Amino acid sequence: MTITARALADQLHGDIEGNGDVLLTNVAPIARAGATDVTFAESEKSCAEAFASAAGVVLVRRCAPTSTKTLIRVENCREAFAAAMTIFHAPKQYGAGIDASARIAPDVRLGKGAFIGPNVVLGAGVSVGDRTTILANCVIAEGVSLGDDCMLHPNITLYSNVKFGHRVIVHSGTVIGADGFGYARHASGIAKIPQIGGVVIEDDVEIGANVSIDRATMNATIIGSGTKIDNQVQIAHNVVIGRNCLIAGMTGIGGSARLGDCVTLAGGVSVVDHVEIGANAVVGAVSLVTKNVPPGQVVWGSPARRAHDAKRESVALRRLPGLLKTLRVRGLADANSQPEPETHQNGD
């Protein structure tokens, strides 16, 4: 698409400064931006780079310096740039329709404008909201409920007793509602504990590729509204995750763990069973959370402890080889400086 700088500024609720008739066709990073591209700059350094670049328009904060470039001044240029990306690269829209290869149970309820792609299977009693899109090869088991404006990418499996809110996005390869890891040892082996609960995914959740979210043993595994889950995350049975949490890739959350609102788990975090992580807490990458984390605390390490303490310990550990070497040299020097012990011969 082509849009003028002035029209783009209007859509971004920004103020134009310079030539508002510049024609724009795309967004680009500073180093690659050309005369028909819009880029953004937040810091003093990036502003200098953007003003010297070939970009046609630069998104900047309202307090940014002036330039001979055409500028669009906004409150938050990073958010505005994300909005500009959506303007130039709007998600593909699927019109209402059902592919001839789809297998749909007789009592399935389809909302207005829903799209059902090739080889999709919808089991008995499934409910699909308005404008929800289900792409190729998804399998939706009996009784699943999907809200309005959801997007299911290809090759997703939803077991029974899974409920979605509105505007949920799920990426390829994800499985939601598989049995939780519930077993009990007895004299003759290991007995399976039935997993008869479900999964609730609230509004505006986005779930990455190849994520596993297990059903609860009896109640529900819950993912709170606005939460974003990266690729290859494991969420065990009975877990409750609050609103607007960020969970990065390769994270594993043990059964019955609870996360408050706005918790951040960096990549590769492991959370053991039954742990509670308070609202607004942050867990650093590749940490092992073995006990409760208070609200707002930043923790890191294995086991996870306050990040300040963990960093001091890490620095001390790196210094340990040199310290040991110093101690060995000093100990040798002290031994060499000791006077020779007196000797006594018989008859003295």
For residue 315, give the CATH number of its domain.
Answer: 2.160.10.10
The verdict on 181 and 315 lying in the same domain is yes
Give the C-alpha distances (Å, rounded to integers) separating 234 from 17, 127, 170: 48, 26, 14
Of the listed 237, 274, 308, 344, which one is catalytic? 237
* Predicted confidence (pLDDT) at residue 348 exceeds the cutoff of 50: no
- In a domain, residue 194? The reply is no
* Predicted confidence (pLDDT) at residue 248 exceeds the cutoff of 90: yes
The verdict on 70 and 181 lying in the same domain is no
Confidence of residue 333 (pLDDT cuts 50, 70, 90): low
**pTM value?**
0.87
The verdict on 44 and 180 lying in the same domain is no
- In a domain, residue 112? The reply is no
- Of residues 306 and 207, more confidently modeled: 207
* Predicted confidence (pLDDT) at residue 343 exceeds the cutoff of 60: no
186 is catalytic: no
- In a domain, residue 129? The reply is no
- In a domain, residue 201? The reply is no
The verdict on 283 and 183 lying in the same domain is yes
Where do we find the tokens 């609870």?
258
- In a domain, residue 47? The reply is yes
The last residue of a domain, from among 54, 70, 88:
88
- In a domain, residue 195? The reply is no
pLDDT at residue number 313: 81
pLDDT at residue number 335: 57
pLDDT at residue number 279: 98
- In a domain, residue 138? The reply is no
Q: Are 281 and 271 in contact (CB under 8 A)?
A: no
The verdict on 296 and 183 lying in the same domain is yes
Least confident among 34-38, 110-114, 211-215, 309-313: 309-313
Report the chain's mean pLDDT, rounded to a whole number.
Answer: 94
The last residue of a domain, from among 73, 88, 103:
88
* Predicted confidence (pLDDT) at residue 220 exceeds the cutoff of 50: yes
The verdict on 46 and 182 lying in the same domain is no
Q: Are 111 and 132 in contact (CB under 8 A)?
A: yes
- CATH of residue 67's domain is 3.40.1390.10
The verdict on 49 and 180 lying in the same domain is no
Share of the chain above pLDDT 90, in %: 86
pLDDT tens, position by position, 79-94:
999 999 999 999 888 9
Q: What is the tally of structural domains in the chain?
A: 2
The verdict on 185 and 298 lying in the same domain is yes
Cross-sheet strand order for the sheet of 252-253: 103-104, 121-122, 139-140, 157-158, 175-178, 212-214, 234-235, 252-253, 270-271, 288-289
The verdict on 182 and 306 lying in the same domain is yes
- In a domain, residue 264? The reply is yes
DSSP string for 219-270: SEEEE-TT-EE-SS-EE-TT-EE-TT-EE-TT-EE-TT-EE-TT-EE-TT-E
Three-class DSSP category at 79: helix
The verdict on 281 and 185 lying in the same domain is yes
pLDDT at residue number 175: 98
pLDDT at residue number 1: 84
The last residue of a domain, from among 88, 108, 135:
88
Query: Residue 242 belongs to what domain range?
Result: 176-189+219-324
